[in-house]
Structure 1
Amino acid sequence: MTPPLDLSRRQFLTAASLTAAAALLAGCAPGSTPGTGPQTLQFWHLLSGGDGVTMSQLLQKVNDAQNAFRIRPTVLAWGTPYYTKLAMAGAGGRAPDVAIMHATRTVGWAPGGLLDPWDLDRLADLGVDDSTFPKPIWEKGFVGEQMFSVALDAHPFVAMFNTDICDAAGVLDSDGALQQTTSPEEFLEQLRAIGGQASGHALSYGYLGDGAQMWRLFYTLYSQHGSPIELPAGGKAVMDKDVAVESLSFMRTLLDGEIAAAQADYGTAVAEFSTGKSGMLFTGVWELRTMQNAKLPFDATMIPTLYGTPAVYADSHSFVLPHQTHADPVKRDLTYQFVADMLKGSFGWAEAGHIPAFLPVTESPDYADLLPQAHYAEAAKHVVYDPTAWFTGSGSNFQGEFGAAVQNVLLKGDDPVAAIDRFEERVNTMLAQPNPADPEGTFGS
């Protein structure tokens, strides 16, 4: 395969290594010629189902509100197919004008030139800067000194709870909120009270064969101890093994067959809670509409802070600029306007359950009246993302590796110390491998 004109050897190697010679997505027609009317901006995203419907509605509002541009969306399958095609497009000169990526994935892409950085001054001109975002969400957009992603949202792991069951169990406060618990022992006591009023389990939590589900809860609990896992490029994982073992052991305690089912997959857990059989569900905010459609009496809150430091696992759907060798300055400027318009109009995204990253939305009176979303909005201030490394992030193999290492602790009661050792060994093996998006090894050196 010969690199196309204007494609550097580095970018060519980047695309080849990331995509294993995957084909370019067809149908990326160019937009309007400058001066002939509204410009067509190509926008790729990976949102389907209810989120896809909501995104279509937001895009229509942006299109209808102005005459300078029209957004042409392309929806691709979530996960590897999406990132494969986006990588090839970014390297082969046929990139869309803007795309959605998970914030946790950008660190693996920026070094190889697959993404263009955002101009902070231009964003600030449009009212988008560090004062309009929660600090951890804004900072996650940076790789080194440059910003490569602008978050649309945070979608954290939360606790949904059946208000009828919890009220009967006496675990709601005078405002109808779940009573705060500040230690593992208090939380277990609360769950046992809930279980006494539920026809099923106190807690629904599905994990079988789902490394992401195991990781979301584990890293929430681990981070509540006050220090993240660090994965230095070319080095060894920095992880408090005692904290890791304690966090994993507590997960196992929950799965005793009474508090939560010892064996349950994600779908089973969602079904148990949505049919009113359990009192609480650990899940992502993306299940909000599932529960609303089920006509369930429920509310939602941050997962309780059991180890001293408020922390909740999350990722963010973020806007990125796939690399364009000769970016059209008119379209690039309109892309900035599009992103600013989406952020400012993201209340509809909040209705779908996600926490908008743009603070003027979440701090508005309308958002305060949006329930249960307003009850877990505080999570945006305490989000923790995957440890930073080229191989981590949503849809990556990292979370699957975690699941493979620890599942038998949850399923069969295997030794958690040995499981954490297995996980650390796998992570160190990945750390020893070069970032395929940085074939010259320049990032982090």
Structure 2
Amino acid sequence: MKQFESLTGKQLSRRQLLTGSALLGGGLLATSLTGCGGAAQATGVREIGFWHLLSGGDGTKMQTMIANANQANPGFKVHPTVLAWGPPYYTKLAMASAGGRPPEVAIMHASRVPGYAPGGLIEPWDLGLLAENGITPENFAPRIWEKGQQGGKVFSLALDSHPFIMFYNTDIAGKAGLLESNGQLQEVSSPEGFKAMALEMQKVTKAHGLSFGYLNLGSQMWRLFYTLYKQHGAEIVLTPGRQMEADRDAAIESLEFMASLFDDTIAAKSGDINTGIAEFVRGDSGMLFSGGWELPTMKKAKLPVDAVTIPTLYGTPASYADSHSFVLPRQLVVDEVKRKDAYKFVSDVLKGSLLWAEAGHIPAFQPVVQSPAYGQLTPQIHYANAADIIAYDPEAWFSGSGSDWQTYFAEHIQNVLLGRDKASAGWDSFVARTNDLLSRPNPV
């Protein structure tokens, strides 16, 4: 039976590899794991494979950024492969890396890196080579740069931070008397104050004050919960072989507040993410909890929309976010020329990420954020402070964007939000499920 060798020198059998990858991603195994970057074409142009999971408006912006990099670098051509978001993507990337047939570069969520770096599925970035391409640690906010590190090495380079934010309809807010003299939404600093604001907007819409679709989508429930939980100043610590460390009171209070919103007046009692967005776009609510990545949808609908970080309701500013980050999948044999091409490609995309900001993301490359051009982007500039209060997922091999852990959260918490279970019971059962995961080793 063919064996695969990790960077740690350990041998993985095909059965171990398949089992580990399935557990890590929780998705279907890839039927084809061949990267796009094959041998150099007859023209001498080197082909660079690039896997990512960006579609819709994101994907269009990324395609333009790739085209710009290709035009500026005639020696290589980046070939993107777009795969489905979530567990299937991460499973395929793990399989390709372990099997020695990955692309030269790929996108991962920063929150997923802790599950990949220890097993040698991705390789660290060379700081010297990055510096040759004009990329240094000082170009990134400290929290974002720190997140890319594991064991003192840099395993991921953030393209952005994409926070969970609050959109609001400026026409509805104005009619509700909730705008300041500068045209921006009044600040609120308590759960009661937020609900009062939502009720004022509901008087205008005659439907709901807030839209938030969550049914059957653990990521949505988790994004709002973790924002509120972190606003308590609380932490979650996930240590292998130990019980989950968390502030139970803060968790229950956050869940109870979430459930109180779904009363069919402040917000619809139930609904999925698409119905929530559609309701807001129709003008049937004044506010929407969602990701900044939904901004192109709002712009396309020509809504009178602005956006802010989710109000600080429990004392500590915090905003759930993740980062689309560049990683170097493990190569059996590194082609040094193509590796340098990958560095140049990534540096070009980072430097050109003002275009990425138009998709609603906050560029991680600070020279772009600090540019006059970025300062002219609205509403992006109104929630750019989210990069300073990022709440990344607690680190574990099983946590992060698109993970099964978020699915388990939905399994235990959805009935709480629907009013069928108590918050304490839902939280305790989720903790027990998490403790079971912590008792298992990282499968890769």
| Same fold at TM > 0.5 | yes
Listed one character per residue, the Cα deviations across residues 376-414 of structure 1 (whole Å, up to 9, x for unaligned) are 111111111111000011111111111111111110252
Q: Residue 134 of structure 1 is aligned with which of 116, 141, 145?
A: 141
Q: Which residue of 2 aligns with 1:170?
A: 177
Could you tell me how far 1:267 is from its partner in structure 2?
1.1
Equivalences for 1:51-66 in 2 at 5 Å? Answer: 51-66=58-73
2:72 aligned with 1:70? no
- The 2-side partners of 1:27 and 1:314 are apart by 29
What is the DSSP-based 3-state SS (H/G/I as helix, E as strand, rest coil) of the residue aligned with 1:158?
Answer: strand
For 1:4 and 1:251, the matched residues in 2 are separated by: 46
Q: Within 5 Å, which residues of 2 pair with 1:126-205? A: 126-205=133-212
Name 2:25's counterpart in structure 1. Answer: none
Separation in 1 of the partners of 2:264 and 2:332? 57
2:2 is the counterpart of 1:2 = yes
CA offset at residue 80 of structure 1?
2.3
Aligned to 1:125: 132
How far apart in 2 are the matches of 1:216 and 1:274? 21
User: Deviation string for 1:320-345 (max 9, x for gaps)?
Assistant: 00001210111111211111111000
- Residue 435 of structure 2 corresponds to 428
Mapped partners of 2:333, 2:273: distance in 1? 45
Q: Does 1:318 align with 2:314?
A: no
Aligned-partner residue type, residue 115 of structure 1? I
CA–CA distance in structure 1, aligned partners of residues 95 and 217 of structure 2: 28
In the other structure, the counterpart of 2:38 is: 30
- Residue in structure 2 matched with residue 371 of structure 1 by the alignment: 378
Match runs of 1:199-214 below 5 Å = 199-214=206-221
- The SS at the match of 1:90 is helix
Which of residues 77, 87, 95 in structure 2 aligns to 1:88? 95
Deviation at 1:11, TM superposition (A): 4.9
Native 8 Å contact 1:18 1:84 kept in 2: no
Task: Give the 3 Å change call, closer, same or farther, for CA 4–266 of structure 1 in structure 2.
Answer: closer
CA displacement, residues 85-137 of structure 1 (integer Å, 9 cap, x when unaligned): 21121111211110011111111011111111111232233232222112221
| 1:111 and 2:118 aligned | yes
Question: Root-mean-square deviation (CA), in Å?
Answer: 1.9
Unmatched runs of 5 consecutive residues or more in structure 2: 23-28
Counterpart secondary structure, 1:412: coil
Stretch of structure 1 that moved more, 94-103 or 130-139: 130-139
Which letter does structure 2 place at the counterpart of 1:334? D
Residue by residue over 1:277-326, the C-alpha shift from the partner in whole angstroms, topping out at 9 and shown as x without a partner, is 11000001111111111111111110001111111111111100000121
Report the Cα distance in structure 1 between the residues aligned to 2:203 and 2:88, rounded to whole angstroms.
Answer: 45
Query: What is residue 443 of structure 1 aligned with on the other side?
Result: none
Letter in 1 for 2:40: S
Which amino acid is the alignment partner of residue 212 of structure 2? Y
Report the AA paired with residue 371 of structure 2.
S
TM-aligned CA deviation for residue 142 of structure 1: 1.0
Match among 257, 281, 285 for residue 278 of structure 1 = 285
Structure 2 residue corresponding to 1:16, chosen from 6, 18, 34: 18
In 2: Cα distance, 1:152 partner to 1:360 partner: 13
- For 1:313, give the aligned amino acid: Y
Change (3 A) 1:401 1:6: closer
Partner of 1:342: 349
Distance in 1 (CA, whole Å) between partners of 2:401 and 2:381 is 25
1:250 is the counterpart of 2:257:
yes
Distance 1:428 1:345, change over 3 A: same
**How has the CA–CA distance of structure 1 residues 284 and 27 changed in structure 2, closer, same or farther, with 3 Å as cutoff?**
closer
Q: Deviations over 1:131-188 (max 9, x none)?
A: 2112221111112211111111111110000000001111111111111111112212
Contact 1:102 1:315 in 2 (8 A): yes
Cα separation, 2, equivalents of 1:271 and 1:239: 35
Is the contact between residue 49 and residue 80 of structure 2 (CA under 8 Å) also seen in structure 1? yes
Q: Secondary structure at the match of 2:205?
A: coil
Between the aligned residues of both structures, percent identity stands at: 54
For 1:263 and 1:4, locate their aligned partners in 2 and report how far apart those are by CA, in whole Å.
47
Partner deviation per Cα, 1:242-275 (whole Å, 9 max, x = no partner): 0001111110111122111111211111010011
Cα distance change of structure 1 residues 124 and 29 upon mapping to structure 2, 3 Å threshold = closer
Structure 1: how far apart are the matches of 2:367 and 2:37? 35
Against the structure 1 CA distance between its residues 198 and 434, is the aligned structure 2 distance closer, same or farther, given a 3 Å change threshold? same
SS in 2 for 1:281: strand
Does structure 1 conserve the Cα–Cα contact (< 8 Å) formed by 2:210 and 2:286? Answer: yes
Number of equivalences: 436
Query: Per-residue deviation at 1:28?
Result: 3.8
1:342–1:432: structure 2 CA closer, same or farther, 3 Å change rule? Answer: same
Aligned with 2:433: secondary structure? helix
How much does 1:6 deviate? 9.3
Judging changes above 3 Å, is the alpha-carbon distance between structure 1 residues 6 and 157 closer, same or farther for their aligned structure 2 residues? Answer: closer
Structure 2 counterpart of 1:19, one-letter code: S
Deviation at 1:3, TM superposition (A): 2.0
Distance 2:74 2:309 in 1: 41
Q: 1:179 to 1:11 in 2, by over 3 A?
A: farther
SS of 2:313's partner is: coil
Unaligned segments of structure 1, at least 5 residues: 438-445
One-letter amino acid matched to 1:132: N
Could you say what secondary structure the match of 1:428 adopts? Answer: helix
Structure 1 stretch 275-284 or stretch 182-191: which is displaced more?
182-191
What SS does structure 2 have at the residue aligned with 1:318? Answer: strand
